[in-house]
Structure 1
Amino acid sequence: MVTAEYSAHHLQVLEGLEAVRKRPGMYIGSTDSRGLMHCVWEIIDNSVDEALGGFGTRIDIRLHPDGSVEVCDRARGIPVDVEPRTGLTGVEVVFTKLHAGGKFGGGSYAASGGLHGVGASVVNALSERLDVEVDRNGKTYAMSFHRGEPGQFAGPSPDSPFTPFERSSELRVVGKVAKGVTGTRIRYWADRQIFTKDAAFHLDELEQRARQTAFLVPGLEIVIDDERPQAVSGTEPSSTSYRFDGGISEFADFLAPDTPITDTWRLSGEGTFTETVPVLQATGAMVPTEVERTCQVDLALRWGTGYETVGRSFVNIIATPKGGTHQAGFEQGLMKVVRDQIQQNARRLKVGTGEKIEKDDILAGLTSVLTVRLPEPQFEGQTKEILGTPAVRNIVTSVVTRELAARFASTKRDDKAQTSLLLDKVVSEMKARISARTHKETQRRKNALESSSLPVKLADCRTNDIAQSELFIVEGDSALGTAKNARNSEYQALLPIRGKILNVQKASISDMLSNAECAAIIQVIGAGSGRSFDLDAARYGKVILMSDADVDGAHIRTLLLTLFFRYMRPLIEDGRVYAAVPPLHRVIVPNPGAKPNDMIYTYSEKELHTLLAGLQKSGKRWQEPVQRYKGLGEMDADQLATTTMDRAGRTLRRVRVQDAEAASRVFELLMGSDVAPRRDFIIGSSDRLSREAIDA
């Protein structure tokens, strides 16, 4: 109940880990699956920081069947001696005290991801149970915690009776290890009082982050064992291992979704800056001190034939998905160098004085991995998604400007050829952007007072309700004639295409725009293409691909989907692209007397055989031969409407993109310019493919 009275006794002072349990979102971002995954990486990153310092080359992560997570390393191990100011062992300090740890400039870590000293203690506070074991000094030490409080459990599960320590804590010695063996094992059960019911560990996210970390720390092996019931097939648990002896150049090649036009360039350098920070003295006082910092910059980048931009940035191997000063410095240096080069080559590139290169033109087709390492970086919040250290921007800009300009000035034949191709691509992107913007502005749906410049072969619909309208892209003029009579012209529009359109996975943007069929599709949809695509400007609520139910029809459908995936992907992501499902067979079942015959349509060979067997079993006969449709043009208007176009009886398959990166790799494999991988795929997969599946 809210009262008007407000005095000092209404104020609350949250002690120790109470603040974490009261406001968990402040420390881990959220209490759903994202926050649960953040806790895992708070523990793993401590082991990774040890590996960065040269201690330990393997980290084991195990997802147990009871929902707990265990992280093991062979690093130096958490200190077990007594910390003098608190009188507690190092283990208890790390797991129970906020803002306590070895990453405040004490010399234990030159550069690390952990900066605030709250990671392990936050995970402990949000865990129903946490067990830690440390191997040091020839012994194995152990301690357990219940929602952040140290004590002892009477059994192995978090539900076991728990007895908290009352007078003093005890770091138990539970075993012996060989001399020189060190390491840490942490196992914890997330507290379901804190996290939402649907919060779960996502193995794919864990594997993606582990792979990323293995790229960033060459030589480090990360092993993930998933022993949860849904992950175990047979008796063996799921196990995945990641280790890469290369660096961020390999990472950039792995991330790149397209065919390269440049090699993967590596730009490295460093710079120094000074900042005033409070330094903890031996007396316990904080004294402002001016210190000199060194920032190391390492960048791998390459351009490809596509227009997608794939960028990853890291600070001390901690991902910064929202960028920060290092990302801003990278883009600033990149813009400066490329603009200068285009200005110097304006005559060869045919760039007019009124044409200006924008950032998106340069970033199109760029895959980059940027890493900076510096002591005690300033992040915005515990989740470390944005770097805030101001001086890093100028250092990164300086390194990128110097190294990239040297690349453009290189007299090596390969460098000259690649930089020339890059400038041509950037200028091409600029011209395509200007052309697409002009095209989009003139191709919006015309009202009654405007003249339409849409293709003559488009049979448009009458409705102005975008959500209700449908565009059928039809294979061939013969099918168009039937479809015109079968459609509902109020809300169904038809656009015929002639044969197989251009394979845009292998073609350039200019080739795509100059192709009549591709240009007509983009023009009719009216929302632009590529980076300038505006989903809100699309003229139709559904785009339905209607091709024959044969191999050629499947190929045409694949080519169309390639066009949509590369240049109008928001339509797919919004669930507005569909494939029509026309029938393969028509079975006529005669009825006695004047009753009309039954017409039954089937959509696969298996469905046909099942139907005929059922008819035979029930004593019914059918007309022979059973009609097999070779194309949409063989149907009359009533049949096409009933089976494929009428909303009441048709079947549509919605095209979805669940994983853009994986889908991009499949399109590049099946439709790209590199023939050898596609040939290997066809040869290796041919025995798993049935001919009937192609015709379905």
Structure 2
Amino acid sequence: MRVVVKNEEYTARHLSVLEGLEAVRKRPGMYIGSTDHRGLMHCVWEIIDNAIDEALEGYCSEITVTLHPDRSVSVADNGRGIPIDTVKSVGLSGVEVVFTKLHAGGKFGGGSYSSSGGLHGVGASVVNALSARLDVEVDRGGKTYAMSFRRGEPGRFDDSKQHEPSSPFTPFTDSSELAVVGKTRKGVSGTRVRFWADFQIFPKSVDFSWDTLLERARQSAFLVPGLTINVVDLRGAEPVKEKLHYEGGVVDYVDFLAKDGAVTATWRFTGQGSYIETVQQLDGKGRLQPVDVERTCEVECALRWGVGYETNLRSFVNIIATPKGGTHVAGFEQALVKVFRKQIDKNSRKLKVTAKDSRIEKDDIMAGLTAVVTVRFPEPQFEGQTKEILGTPQIRQVVGKVITDELTHQLNSSKRDDKQQSALLLEKIVGEMKARQSARIHKEISRRKNALETSSLPAKLADCRTNDVEASELFIVEGDSALGTAKSARSSEFQALLPIRGKILNVQKASTADVLSNAECSAIIQVIGAGSGRTFDLEQARYGKVILMTDADVDGAHIRTLLLTLFFRYMRPMVEAGRIYAAVPPLHRVELAATGRKKKEYVYTYSEAELQQLMKKLAKSGRAHKEPIQRYKGLGEMDADQLAETTMDPSGRMLRRITLADEPSLEQAEATFELLMGSVVAPRKEFIVNGAKKLDLQDIDA
């Protein structure tokens, strides 16, 4: 590659100075992260967060966010209202300063806000700069004040024909005007902001998301107990409205987020800590000087462990979400590891933890955890305007100490319920650690063994010969009697058999340690060969299909449900990928007598209704059948040819694929398994009673 040297001068004339809001329009990604859907929604968050800051200070009790049909958004609050008096240093009203000047606001240590989400003083002005039009109205002192902007420039719109960004606009030239447009009742105050995103900046294809807005509004309502947030969507044929109001705070939020069965109750920890921070403050002459300031950080956390293995951790700073974490999350996780390692070492004999076992890791503790961690303190340092990561270093130690003290006290509580929950939790964490150890072993034996290698797979597994995973099938067979018949009926080239003895462990109620120590469950996990729980790797699975082959009776259905619970809880990707099937063995065999040229035939039916249809058809055609009709009560009653023909041979069998398609969401599927297989009896009893009312006794095949 040849480098071409250009002989050009580089002088001061090549430098550009962007004035005012020009910098925002030139580099919007620096302020809102991106100009796609995420950046568009971030503009909404900036305005909403300003209203929520008023609520945090106790001045605002209700916020209304409305999506309009003309692709604009309005945010109204009943806070104090933006100051309307003149800012002496610039000679402009407070409203114009807030919406046109970067790094201007009441959150720079002036005493207006003890803790807030807005810190840099650029949120409202950035939204204004990226809006084709922005209108603001302020109720204050018995009057309503109004001002409008086009792409950050103040002026007047002529709305005589229509109210939109394309209305004729006249910018202010000599001086700006904050117009008085109405009167309000005494004591009424608040701010209303409506903006139209500028599609010179944002793609025209992006729009405001109702679901994203509703989720964020609900989150804020949880974090500010007592605050009412109304979310309204006027874009459809019918208005959609949601009123969000919660009194329980972070505890309610965790209960809302948690979908799996509970191992512990929802614990709430609170505390605070102080630290010294050097900040730059204006002196009497308007110059910045370094000053040591003592800060107080308030920590609030709600957490709860469930029977699952997924982690749902939400973190916030002054109710601003930090999805990528930061120092407060680091302190929280560090405290969890420290406390649980100490507790497990203390109870190692009871928990059967030996020196050979690996040390507890963060992932073992976080499995099944649903937690909300929120901190409040003045002037936090974020990494960028999007505030996704907290950077204030002192917060790690403050949060770590609060969580260490509170969690240690909780785990050492002498109350009966607390002791039981703590014991179950420690067993779960140890079980996750042992599952991680087992996963390494499973991966080592996951590859097929050839004739020259020794296999550590269960002895009762009758494996197949093919190395083609996609073509291979594993039949999990109920009982040894059925296994003998199935061995003769299978195609050993691609069909493997694993027998289980009766009803396996209900893993919805059992701890991870119990599951791994259960012979049947561990054998199934080992034979699949892809690990379990969060370590499960679908690509390592040894079979393309797993087929549950149980008797066509109540016990068989129960065993199938127990197996499905195991796969859903510990090998869920297999279910999501549609690789789990249920075999459908026949219920009846009807022997048709030979007539004329027709030889003796056997017809199989799979339900009572299907049998009745066959009987009507035979009666109509005059074809005789042998009595009594054979009713299969189990797979062991079939001979090998019958089992192969009806249940195992791909050319003639019927399989039911098990998927999550019938459930609207993963949370619904979790709720279904918890209802049917969980520890709480009352909802299951109600479900059975309600279902029994719809059942016709004639439908029972007994």
Q: Under TM normalisation by the shorter chain, which class is it?
A: 0.7 to 0.9
Please give the secondary structure, in 1, of the residue aligned with 2:38.
Answer: helix
Please give the secondary structure, in 2, of the residue aligned with 1:224.
Answer: strand
* Contact 2:645-2:653 within 8 A present in 1 as well: no
Correspondence for 2:671 among 665, 674, 684: 665
Please give the secondary structure, in 2, of the residue aligned with 1:50.
Answer: helix
Cα deviation, 1:133-163, whole Å, max 9, x if unaligned, reads 2211212222333333334153545353231
Q: How does 1:570-589 map to 2 (within 5 A)?
A: 570-573=573-576, 576-577=579-580
Instruction: Tell me which amino acid in the other structure corresponds to 2:388.
Output: E
Correspondence for 2:206 among 199, 213, 222: 199
Question: Which residue does the alignment assign to 1:451?
Answer: 454
Please give the secondary structure, in 1, of the residue aligned with 2:120.
Answer: coil
Q: How does 1:187-266 map to 2 (within 5 A)?
A: 187-196=194-203, 199-229=206-236, 232=238, 237-266=239-268
Question: Which residue does the alignment assign to 1:311?
Answer: 313
Instruction: Tell me which amino acid in the other structure corresponds to 2:89.
Output: R
Q: Distance in 1 between matches of 2:193 and 2:674?
A: 42
Instruction: Tell me which amino acid in the other structure corresponds to 1:319.
Output: A
Asked if 1:394 is matched to 2:397, the reply is: yes
Question: Which residue does the alignment assign to 2:164?
Answer: 158
Q: Distance in 2 between matches of 1:67 and 1:584?
A: 60
Cα deviation, 1:377-409, whole Å, max 9, x if unaligned, reads 111122212111111111122222233333445
* Contact 1:483-1:640 within 8 A present in 2 as well: no
Instruction: Tell me which amino acid in the other structure corresponds to 2:673.
Output: F
Q: CA deviation at 1:421?
A: 4.1
Structure 1 residues 124 and 405: alpha-carbon distance in aligned structure 2, compared to 1, 3 A threshold? same
Q: Distance in 1 between matches of 2:228 and 2:445?
A: 55
Which consecutive residues of structure 1, in runs of 5 or more, have no partner in the other structure?
588-592
Q: Distance in 2 between matches of 1:623 and 1:10?
A: 99
Structure 1 residues 610 and 647: alpha-carbon distance in aligned structure 2, compared to 1, 3 A threshold? closer
Q: Distance in 2 between matches of 1:209 and 1:583?
A: 52
Instruction: Tell me which amino acid in the other structure corresponds to 2:126.
Output: V
Q: Distance in 2 between matches of 1:623 and 1:142?
A: 90
Structure 1 residues 541 and 268: alpha-carbon distance in aligned structure 2, compared to 1, 3 A threshold? same
Q: CA deviation at 1:57?
A: 1.2
Q: CA deviation at 1:577?
A: 4.9
* Contact 1:138-1:176 within 8 A present in 2 as well: yes
* Contact 1:554-1:694 within 8 A present in 2 as well: no
Correspondence for 1:433 among 436, 451, 460: 436
Q: CA deviation at 1:178?
A: 0.7
Q: How does 1:321-360 map to 2 (within 5 A)?
A: 321-355=323-357, 356-360=359-363
Structure 1 residues 147 and 639: alpha-carbon distance in aligned structure 2, compared to 1, 3 A threshold? farther
Question: Which residue does the alignment assign to 2:572?
Answer: 569
Q: Distance in 1 between matches of 2:684 and 2:17?
A: 64
Please give the secondary structure, in 1, of the residue aligned with 2:191.
Answer: strand
* Contact 1:153-1:160 within 8 A present in 2 as well: no
Correspondence for 1:655 among 656, 660, 677: 660
Q: Distance in 2 between matches of 1:694 and 1:197?
A: 60
Q: Percent identity?
A: 65
Please give the secondary structure, in 1, of the residue aligned with 2:194.
Answer: strand
Instruction: Tell me which amino acid in the other structure corresponds to 1:207.
Output: L
Q: Which moved more, 1:390-399 or 1:674-683?
A: 674-683
Q: CA deviation at 1:278?
A: 1.5
Cα deviation, 1:219-249, whole Å, max 9, x if unaligned, reads 111122233327x3xxxx3322221212223
* Contact 1:549-1:584 within 8 A present in 2 as well: yes
* Contact 2:157-2:169 within 8 A present in 1 as well: yes
Correspondence for 2:136 among 132, 136, 148: 132
Please give the secondary structure, in 2, of the residue aligned with 1:229.
Answer: coil
Q: How does 1:534-613 map to 2 (within 5 A)?
A: 534-543=537-546, 558-573=561-576, 576-577=579-580
Cα deviation, 1:325-347, whole Å, max 9, x if unaligned, reads 11111222222233223333334
Q: Which moved more, 1:351-360 or 1:293-302?
A: 351-360
Q: Distance in 2 between matches of 1:485 and 1:622?
A: 37
Q: CA deviation at 1:210?
A: 2.3
Q: CA deviation at 1:197?
A: 5.4
* Contact 1:214-1:222 within 8 A present in 2 as well: yes
Asked if 1:171 is matched to 2:215, the reply is: no
Q: Which moved more, 1:213-222 or 1:352-361?
A: 352-361
Asked if 1:144 is matched to 2:148, the reply is: yes
Q: Distance in 2 between matches of 1:5 and 1:543?
A: 71
Normalised by the size of structure 1, how large is the TM-score?
0.82
* Contact 1:486-1:640 within 8 A present in 2 as well: no
* Contact 2:260-2:308 within 8 A present in 1 as well: yes
Structure 1 residues 687 and 388: alpha-carbon distance in aligned structure 2, compared to 1, 3 A threshold? farther
Structure 1 residues 275 and 467: alpha-carbon distance in aligned structure 2, compared to 1, 3 A threshold? farther
Structure 1 residues 240 and 550: alpha-carbon distance in aligned structure 2, compared to 1, 3 A threshold? farther
Structure 1 residues 333 and 473: alpha-carbon distance in aligned structure 2, compared to 1, 3 A threshold? same
Cα deviation, 1:265-294, whole Å, max 9, x if unaligned, reads 332222111121222345442222221111
Q: Distance in 2 between matches of 1:84 and 1:414?
A: 62
* Contact 2:581-2:655 within 8 A present in 1 as well: no
Q: CA deviation at 1:604?
A: 11
Q: Distance in 1 between matches of 2:71 and 2:699?
A: 40
Please give the secondary structure, in 2, of the residue aligned with 1:80.
Answer: coil
Cα deviation, 1:145-204, whole Å, max 9, x if unaligned, reads 333333415354535323141404333322221111111222233334443455343433
Q: Distance in 2 between matches of 1:44 and 1:515?
A: 52
Q: Which moved more, 1:508-517 or 1:493-502?
A: 493-502
Q: CA deviation at 1:28?
A: 2.5
Q: Distance in 2 between matches of 1:606 and 1:19?
A: 74
* Contact 1:467-1:540 within 8 A present in 2 as well: yes
Instruction: Give the RMSD, CA atoms, in angstroms.
Output: 4.5
Which consecutive residues of structure 2, in runs of 5 or more, have no partner in the other structure?
591-595
Instruction: Tell me which amino acid in the other structure corresponds to 1:569.
Output: R
Q: Distance in 1 between matches of 2:115 and 2:147?
A: 28
Q: How does 1:426-505 map to 2 (within 5 A)?
A: 426-456=429-459, 458=461, 460-466=463-469, 469=472, 471=474, 473=476, 493=496, 495=498, 501-505=504-508
* Contact 2:63-2:78 within 8 A present in 1 as well: yes
Q: Which moved more, 1:363-372 or 1:313-322?
A: 363-372
Cα deviation, 1:505-550, whole Å, max 9, x if unaligned, reads 1122233234444223211211111233233422235545567899
Q: Distance in 2 between matches of 1:221 and 1:499?
A: 54
* Contact 1:547-1:554 within 8 A present in 2 as well: yes
Q: CA deviation at 1:110?
A: 0.5
Q: Distance in 1 between matches of 2:240 and 2:392?
A: 41
Q: Distance in 1 between matches of 2:203 and 2:653?
A: 41
Instruction: Tell me which amino acid in the other structure corresponds to 1:251.
Output: Y
Q: CA deviation at 1:569?
A: 2.7
Question: Which residue does the alignment assign to 2:371?
Answer: 368
Q: CA deviation at 1:446?
A: 2.7
Please give the secondary structure, in 2, of the residue aligned with 1:406.
Answer: helix
Q: CA deviation at 1:251?
A: 2.5
Q: CA deviation at 1:586?
A: 12
Asked if 1:103 is matched to 2:110, the reply is: no
Q: CA deviation at 1:436?
A: 4.1
Question: Which residue does the alignment assign to 1:590?
Answer: none
Question: Which residue does the alignment assign to 2:515?
Answer: 512
Question: Which residue does the alignment assign to 1:278?
Answer: 280
Normalised by the size of structure 2, how large is the TM-score?
0.82
* Contact 1:584-1:601 within 8 A present in 2 as well: yes
Q: CA deviation at 1:654?
A: 4.3
Please give the secondary structure, in 2, of the residue aligned with 1:142.
Answer: strand
Question: Which residue does the alignment assign to 2:123?
Answer: 119
Cα deviation, 1:598-636, whole Å, max 9, x if unaligned, reads x9999999999999xxx9xxxx98989999999999876
Please give the secondary structure, in 2, of the residue aligned with 1:451.
Answer: coil
Asked if 1:59 is matched to 2:59, the reply is: no
Q: Distance in 2 between matches of 1:111 and 1:179?
A: 28
